Structure 1
Amino acid sequence: MKAKNLISIFILAAALLAGCTKPAPAPSPTPTPSDATPDKVTTASIVDNAAAFEKAIGSSGTWIIAITKDLNIDKELVLDGEFKNGKKDDEGKDIIQRKIALYAQDANRNITARYTLTAPRLTINSPEASIQHGTFKGDLYVSSKNFKLVDATVDGNVYFTADEAKSTFTMDDKSKVTGKQEIKK
């Protein structure tokens, strides 16, 4: 069973990294301001402990944070920073995205395990963020726009710290919130 979990973790890591990388641009003879800005999006953080999770969700962390087992963290957490996912939209602009992945998947992207992240409070400051395919136990404070739950459960309350955060929040029909959803400024 342990070997199967390890194989699933390695497959998830390989799939995430393969989907997140982009070819290096040709060298430019004269750097432009955009060349000087580091692209902090092309990696994923696969974590199995509280310290690694806390580092990954920080402003100098990664755009996707995937846990590999249930995590219990006894302090408040903050998802900070704006990240690009390495892809472009139809107009050629970088796509902003931040994802907390509470699951494992196989090479065909079938979900093979779901995990629970437990903390007293998780504040979402990153724009275009989501929690996917697992459970967050605790209260969620959403301060950014376009936050999503995708096949995820919040076992607690969801508090929005701004009207825009609430009006742009979405969750699919597989997601649920066990507590209240309200604005709390």
Structure 2
Amino acid sequence: MSNPDLEPAARRMAALIGGVSDEMLDRPTPCPDYRLGDLVEHVVVHHFATKAGLRQAVDDAVLTAFEAALAAVDTHGAPAEVSERLNQAVAGIIGGDRAVSDYLGRSLFEATGASQRLFDALTNLVTAGLDDLEEAGLVRPGTDRTWRAYTVLFIVLGPIVLSRQLEARLRTDAFAPDVVSARSAANIDILQHGLFTPDDPRPRM
């Protein structure tokens, strides 16, 4: 785990991590006449030693944010109320800071060892959370533990990975407050009630 004191720095660096190359990290500390790239390099080398160290720090900060937000949700009340509070907690993390959503999208799309560890950690977090909600009587028992976690992740991560394509169709920021609100309402409705009717309402011939 990273030093907690460095997590704010890691969060700020999330938007810049793509511009730091391994070759930059092998060069000597830059002179005081910094350009932006030199400044990024200097911060990475000074605080994290390597780009991998920075990536791990950012991953830890993102996961910590998810864990803290979900742990703070009051799970007492009707399932509809709890699901809305959970949805708002997740939306606050993803929609509250574009650097976080952009970093997640870029990291997960890379399909590297680091991105796999991040996905595994998110999967474990969601799986444990759904297990707790099932135990509390808020999730329908008997659902597939593996695929219900993936389904929730698909809903959460889909707009992150496809944000640019969504913006091209919507002609607005995929994480604008009104867009997040509409998307969240649709997600909650589908998760609570399903998409299809339970029986075919058409008369049988």
TM range (shorter): under 0.3
Structure with more relative contact order (C-alpha pairs < 8 Å, separation 6 or more): 2
Bigger strand fraction: 1
Bigger helix fraction: 2
**What TM-score do you get using the length of structure 1 for normalisation?**
0.27
For the pair shown, which has the larger CA radius of gyration, 1 or 2? 2
